[in-house]
């Protein structure tokens, strides 16, 4: 047996083709219509809409723009909502539950249309997504969901029985699965770079490596203290998601940053890729802490991601866990070398629903729960309209109350390793039950 080798690069595979390129430093503005905190997908999407409507707008980022989750993610355009349809119905009633699901469809279509009309070169591939079931009962339930999505929302979704699974994926681990053709993949760092390009050309000023330190009320507007000086802004939009820090304490106590990690394999032989991923689809699983994986846009390697329960440093164990998971799925990859392994933060709130909300005059666009490739541009765009008082365009099922307060939590998620282990245990029990 080959000893697993540790990955060579700790930076995202995506940065090879699209390295972070911060825009040139600009002088600090004195007054702004809108100041945006965070220049990931959400902040830039909002800024773009505001600038095109003639607002003076600047986005400040503590790191290089995109250095947060927006250039680290898997690029899967899932637009999923964590609570399943039954839970949403229980919480909000059937009408609102369906509105939320329908908005996922609208948000994906918005993204695809945006990429096309703006000419964003981000290797978007509408290849579909396969979701693997770990047991026959789960498969039946997932098949019913696919049927409902097809019937109620007109989404091309269907079940794939175990006997036909290998047409979609070269593993026998699942007991069948479902396919959704409304989901695809893009190159996340190229998408961010292109979004940055159009935001800048539309008139958004982006200040890299300029953290916002605090936000204070000042008459009818705000006085925002940045690391290089104060700025007066009529309005403030917070788009800090999984990187929220002490500058926005209200949000920090309501949002839990969770590490998500991705490994990339070295280039694989074309015949092997065709055997393992015959349709080059995006893949996900029906586990609480399952894997998500995909071929690289050039179809030459596999990128596999999952939760990482570490909180400090860059320990080896989470990389090995993903690597072992990859080999369980595809035993042929037992001796494969990894080229990259990296992590970034996703942001979870208590009800696991993304949202726009307002608190003390500040607008927040946040809580994407690991699905922000679709949600962040959509929610960012709606937040911009909300700031401009465009009621019709701002309307969304995700204009919510603030996320619930998390008891005994001030921004240090000490409980995370225990939580993730509990979910993994629940997955193991479900797997054991399914195999009986
Ligand atoms: C490994 C990984 C895999 C993922 N895979 C997928 C996927 O396949 N599909 C999907 O849909 N989603 C995925 N996601 C989630 C997705 O990447 C995020 O939801 C999305 O990028 C969030 O965008 P954002 O603009 O809200 O936040 P971010 O891109 O995280 O940007 C927030 C920014 O705020 C800045 N900031 C924070 N505090 C301050 C401050 N005080 N002053 C100035 N700036 C500040 C940070 O520097 C950061 O750049 C993944 C995430 C990770 C980490």
Per-residue pLDDT 10s for the chain (436 aa) are 454 555 589 999 999 999 999 999 999 999 999 999 999 999 999 999 999 999 999 999 999 999 999 999 999 999 999 898 888 999 999 898 889 999 999 999 999 999 999 999 999 999 999 999 999 999 999 999 999 999 999 999 999 999 999 999 999 999 999 999 999 999 999 999 999 999 999 999 999 999 999 999 999 999 999 999 999 999 999 999 999 999 999 999 999 999 999 999 999 999 999 999 999 999 999 987 799 999 999 999 999 999 998 888 999 999 999 999 999 999 999 999 999 999 999 999 999 999 999 999 999 999 999 999 999 999 999 999 999 999 999 999 999 899 998 887 888 887 777 777 777 777 777 777 766 6
Question: Encoding tokens for residue 181?
Answer: 């053709």
User: For the residues of 228-274, what is the DSSP string, one character each?
Assistant: TEEEEEEEEEE--GGG--TTSHHHHTT-EEEEEEEEEE----HHHHH
Side-chain-facing half-sphere of 139: CA atoms under 13 Å? 19
What separation in Å is there between the alpha carbon of 79 and the centre of ligand 1?
14
The C-alpha atoms of residue 274 and residue 281 are separated, in whole angstroms, by 11
Of all protein residues, the one whose alpha carbon is nearest to atom 10 of ligand 1 is: 371
Number of H helices, E strands in the chain: 12, 16
What separation in Å is there between the alpha carbon of 325 and the centre of ligand 1?
25
Looking only at the bridges linking them, the beta strands covering 212-218 and 229-238 are unpaired
CA terminus-to-terminus distance, the chain: 30
| Exposed / middle / buried, residue 153 (Cβ in 10 Å: 0-12, 13-18, 19+) | middle
Residue 434 region by backbone torsions, left for phi larger than 0, else alpha for psi between -120 and 50, else beta: alpha
Ligand 1 contact, 225 CB (< 6 A): no
The C-alpha atoms of residue 312 and residue 259 are separated, in whole angstroms, by 10
Nearest atom in ligand 1 to the alpha carbon of residue 212 is 42
Of all protein residues, the one whose alpha carbon is nearest to atom 33 of ligand 1 is: 38
Query: Which residue's structure tokens are 């629903």?
Result: 353
The C-alpha atoms of residue 410 and residue 346 are separated, in whole angstroms, by 17
Domain parsing of the chain, residue ranges: 13-128+182-435
pTM for the full predicted model: 0.95
What separation in Å is there between the alpha carbon of 345 and the centre of ligand 1?
7
Domain 13-128+182-435 has CATH 3.40.640.10: no
Can you say how many angstroms the Cα of residue 255 is from the centroid of all Cα atoms in its chain? 15
| Exposed / middle / buried, residue 66 (Cβ in 10 Å: 0-12, 13-18, 19+) | buried
Nearest atom in ligand 1 to the alpha carbon of residue 226 is 42
The C-alpha atoms of residue 417 and residue 420 are separated, in whole angstroms, by 5
What separation in Å is there between the alpha carbon of 203 and the centre of ligand 1?
22
Chain length of the chain: 436
What separation in Å is there between the alpha carbon of 95 and the centre of ligand 1?
30
What is the best residue among 36, 259, 304, 372 to mutate for testing ligand 1's pocket, by most ligand atoms within 8 Å of CB? 372
């Amino acid at each position: 047996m080959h000893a697993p080798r540790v990955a060579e690069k700790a930076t995202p595979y995506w940065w090879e083709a699209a390295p972070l390129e911060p825009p040139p430093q600009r002088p600090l503005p004195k007054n702004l219509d809108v100041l945006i905190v965070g220049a990931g997908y959400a902040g830039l999407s909002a800024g773009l809409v505001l600038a095109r409507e003639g607002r003076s707008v600047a986005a400040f980022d503590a790191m290089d723009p995109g250095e947060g989750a927006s250039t680290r993610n898997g690029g899967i355009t899932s637009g999923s909502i964590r609570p399943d349809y039954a839970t949403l119905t229980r919480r909000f009633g059937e009408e609102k539950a369906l509105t939320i699901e329908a908005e996922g469809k609208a948000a994906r279509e918005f993204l695809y249309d945006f990429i096309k009309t703006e000419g964003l070169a981000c290797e978007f591939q509408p290849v579909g997504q396969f979701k693997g079931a770990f047991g026959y009962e789960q498969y039946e339930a997932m098949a019913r969901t696919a049927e409902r999505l097809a019937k109620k929302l007109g989404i091309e979704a269907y079940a794939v029985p175990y006997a036909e699974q290998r047409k979609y994926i070269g593993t026998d681990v699942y007991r069948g699965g479902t396919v959704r053709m409304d989901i695809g993949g893009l190159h996340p760092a190229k998408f961010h770079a292109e979004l940055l390009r159009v935001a800048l050309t539309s008139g958004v000023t982006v200040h890299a490596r300029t953290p916002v330190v605090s936000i204070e009320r000042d008459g009818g507007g705000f006085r925002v203290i940045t690391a290089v000086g104060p700025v007066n802004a009529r309005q403030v939009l917070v788009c800090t998601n999984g990187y929220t820090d002490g500058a926005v304490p209200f949000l920090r106590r309501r949002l839990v940053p969770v590490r998500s990690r991705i490994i990339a394999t070295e280039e694989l032989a074309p015949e092997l890729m065709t055997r393992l991923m015959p349709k080059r689809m995006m893949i996900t699983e029906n586990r609480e802490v399952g894997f998500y994986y995909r071929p690289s846009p050039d179809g030459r390697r596999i990128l596999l991601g999952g939760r990482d329960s570490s909180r400090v440093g860059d320990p080896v164990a989470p990389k090995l866990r993903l690597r072992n998971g990859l080999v369980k799925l595809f035993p042929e990859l037992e001796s494969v070398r990894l080229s990259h392994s990296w992590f970034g933060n996703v942001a979870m709130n208590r009800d696991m629903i993304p949202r726009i909300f307002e608190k003390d005059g500040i607008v927040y666009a946040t809580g994407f729960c690991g699905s922000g490739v679709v949600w962040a541009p959509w929610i960012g765009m709606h937040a911009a309209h909300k700031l401009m008082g465009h009621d019709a365009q701002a309307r969304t099922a995700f204009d919510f109350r603030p996320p619930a307060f998390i008891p005994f939590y001030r921004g240090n998620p000490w409980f995370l390793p225990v939580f993730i282990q509990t979910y993994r245990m629940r997955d193991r029990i479900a797997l054991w039950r399914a195999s009986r």
